[in-house]
Amino acid sequence: MTILHLCLIFSALLFSLGLAAALARSSGILVLLGIELMLNAANINFIAFWKFSPNPENGTGAMFAIFSIAVAAAEAAVGLALIIAIYRHQSSIRLQDANTLKG
C-alpha cells in the first residue's frame, strides 16, 4: 500500500459519503451538496494522481482540478436556482414533492 492508495481511499470514502447524501436525503439542497462532494472527491483523485505521476511538471491534474472547480461552481449556482424555482412551484424543497412535470 502506498501513499497514493491512501489518497485514493480517502477520495473513495468521500465519494461514498456524497453518494449517500444524494441518495438518502430528500432536501434538494442537501442532494446538491452531496453531488458537490462527489465532484470534490474526483478532484482529490486528479490531484493525487498528478502528485504521484512520473512527470508532474506539466501540471495536467492541477489544471483539470481548476477547471472542475469552475464547473462545480457553475453547477452549484444553477442547481440552487433550480431549487428556488422548485420551491416557488411546490413551496417545498423535498424532492419527493417535485414529481410533476407541470408547473
Pairwise CA distance, residues 17 & 12, whole Å: 9
Q: Does 98 bind another protein (CB under 8 A)?
A: no
Least distance to another protein from the beta carbon of 97, Å? 10
User: In the complex with another protein, which residue's Cβ is closer, 77 or 101?
Assistant: 77
Q: What is the DSSP string of 24-88?
A: H--BHHHHHHHHHHHHHHHHHHHHHHHHTSS-GGG-HHHHHHHHHHHHHHHHHHHHHHHHHHHHH
Least distance to another protein from the beta carbon of 99, Å? 14
Contact set for another protein, span 13-72 (CB under 8 A): 13-27, 29-30, 32-34, 36-37, 40, 43-44, 47-48, 50-52, 54, 56-59, 61-63, 65-67, 69-72
Q: Does 100 bind another protein (CB under 8 A)?
A: no
CB atoms within 10 A of CB 31: 20
- Total interface residues for another protein by CB under 8 A: 75
Q: Does 102 bind another protein (CB under 8 A)?
A: no
69: cell is: 472547480
